[in-house]
C-alpha cells in the first residue's frame, strides 16, 4: 500500500490497554506513529489524571509524535469546551512529561466562538510548553458540536477576521503554525487525499475515505455501496478493490475539477446530504 504513517485517535488512545503494544508494532514495521490525545486518562480510582509516565517511558523513541488537543489558554474556557473540570493543568503536565522524555509534541486547535479570542495566547502557551507546531483545524458539526452549533460556530465575519489575524500571527510567530482547510488562503495547498493518500478505519472496522466520513451526517451509502470491514477483508484488498472507495475516488476527481470553493469532499457532502446518492 505504501503507507508511511499510522495515526491513532479516539476517544482517547491512551485509555486502550494495549496502546504500548500498538506503538511497538507500528515501530517494528518501520512506520511513523502519531497519537492524537487529550492528555487526560482515568487513574485507578477512576479519576481524571495526566498521562501515565510509565507508558510514556515505554513508547519514548518508538512513537513519532503526540498531538495534544489544546482548545484554550484559560482553565475556564478549556473546561467549557472539553466538558471537563480541573483538567487544564493535567493536560499541561502531560505535555511536559512527554517533552522531558524527548517525545515530539504538537497541538491542534479548533477555532470557535468560545475560544477564537484566545488563539494568540494559545500559541504563546504552546511556545512556553516547547510544543513544536500547532495546527488549526476545521470545526466539524457532529456530536456535541452539532448540538451547540449556534453557540460555537463562527459567523462569516468572524471567520474572515480570523483569516486576517492568522496571516499576521503566522508571519510574526516563532512557532510552526499549520493553517488547514478552509482557513488557509493558499488554495494551491488544498489537496484532498480522501481514499488516496489516506484512509480511516473506524472503531467497528469499517474502512472510510478519511476522518470526515466518520460524521453521521455524511450520506455514505452511494448507489447501494457501503464501506467494507477489515473483519471481512484484508486492508490491502479493501484499499485496492473496494467498490465504495473507488466510487469516492471518482466523486473526488469530479469534485476537484468542478470549481467548488469547498475543497473537502466529505465536508461538502455533510453540507449537501442529498448529493450524489
Task: Write down the pLDDT at residue 277.
Answer: 44
263 pLDDT exceeds 70? no
Average pLDDT, stretch 44-51?
96
Contacts of 243 (CB under 8 A, 6+ apart): 225
The model's pLDDT over 214-261, given as tens digits with 9 standing for 90+, comes to 766 665 556 678 899 999 999 999 999 999 999 888 888 877 666 555
What is the CB neighbour count within 10 angstroms for residue 228? 21
Q: Find how far residue 154's CA is from the centre of its chain.
A: 19
262 pLDDT exceeds 60? no
Residue 7 backbone dihedrals phi, psi, to 5 degrees: -105, 130
122 pLDDT exceeds 80? yes
Closest of 195, 210, 205 to residue 241, by C-alpha: 195
Tell me the domain boundaries of the chain: 5-186, 200-271
- Answer with the residue of higher pLDDT: 135 or 185: 135
Mean pLDDT of the chain: 87
Task: Write down the pLDDT at residue 181.
Answer: 66
27 pLDDT exceeds 60? yes
- Which CA distances in Å does 216 have to 30, 112, 140, 141? 34, 21, 11, 10
CATH code of 5-186, in short, is 3.20.20.70
C-alpha cell read off for 155: 459567523
pTM tops 0.85: yes
Average pLDDT, stretch 50-72?
98
- Which CA distances in Å does 31 have to 64, 107, 136? 9, 21, 25
Contact between 125 and 175 (Cβ < 8 Å): no
The model's pLDDT over 167-204, given as tens digits with 9 standing for 90+, comes to 888 878 889 999 876 676 665 555 778 899 999 999 99
State what percent of residues in the chain have pLDDT above 70: 85
Question: Beta strand pairing status for 48-50 and 65-69?
Answer: unpaired
C-alpha cell read off for 119: 488563539
Contact between 207 and 245 (Cβ < 8 Å): yes
Give the integer Cα–Cα distance in Å for 48 and 27. 29
Confidence of residue 10 (pLDDT cuts 50, 70, 90): confident
52 pLDDT exceeds 50? yes
Amino acid at each position: 500500500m505504501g503507507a508511511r504513517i499510522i495515526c491513532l485517535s479516539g476517544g482517547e488512545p491512551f485509555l486502550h490497554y494495549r496502546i504500548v503494544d500498538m506503538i511497538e508494532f507500528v515501530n517494528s514495521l518501520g512506520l511513523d506513529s502519531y497519537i492524537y490525545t487529550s492528555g487526560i486518562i482515568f487513574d485507578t480510582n477512576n479519576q481524571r489524571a495526566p498521562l501515565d509516565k510509565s507508558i510514556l517511558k515505554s513508547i519514548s523513541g518508538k512513537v513519532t509524535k503526540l498531538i495534544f488537543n489544546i482548545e484554550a489558554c484559560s482553565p475556564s474556557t478549556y473546561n467549557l469546551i472539553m466538558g471537563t473540570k480541573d483538567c487544564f493543568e493535567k493536560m499541561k503536565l502531560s505535555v511536559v512529561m512527554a517533552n522531558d522524555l524527548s517525545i515530539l509534541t504538537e497541538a491542534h486547535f479548533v477555532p470557535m466562538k468560545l475560544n477564537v479570542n484566545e488563539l494568540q495566547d494559545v500559541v504563546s502557551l504552546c511556545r512556553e510548553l516547547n510544543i513544536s507546531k500547532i495546527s488549526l483545524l476545521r470545526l466539524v458539526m457532529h456530536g456535541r458540536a452539532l448540538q451547540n452549533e449556534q453557540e460555537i460556530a463562527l459567523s462569516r465575519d468572524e471567520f474572515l477576521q480570523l483569516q486576517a489575524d492568522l496571516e499576521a500571527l503566522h508571519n510574526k510567530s516563532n512557532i510552526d503554525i499549520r493553517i488547514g482547510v478552509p482557513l488557509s488562503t493558499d488554495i494551491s495547498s488544498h489537496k484532498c487525499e480522501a481514499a488516496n493518500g489516506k484512509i480511516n478505519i473506524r472503531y467497528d472496522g469499517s474502512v472510510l475515505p478519511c476522518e470526515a466520513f466518520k460524521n453521521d451526517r455524511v450520506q455514505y451509502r452511494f448507489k447501494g455501496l457501503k464501506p467494507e470491514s477489515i473483519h471481512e477483508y484484508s486492508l490491502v484488498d479493501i484499499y485496492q478493490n473496494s467498490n465504495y472507495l473507488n466510487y469516492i475516488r471518482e466523486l473526488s476527481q469530479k469534485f476537484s475539477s468542478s470549481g467548488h470553493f469547498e475543497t473537502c469532499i466529505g465536508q461538502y457532502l455533510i453540507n449537501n446530504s442529498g448529493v450524489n446518492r
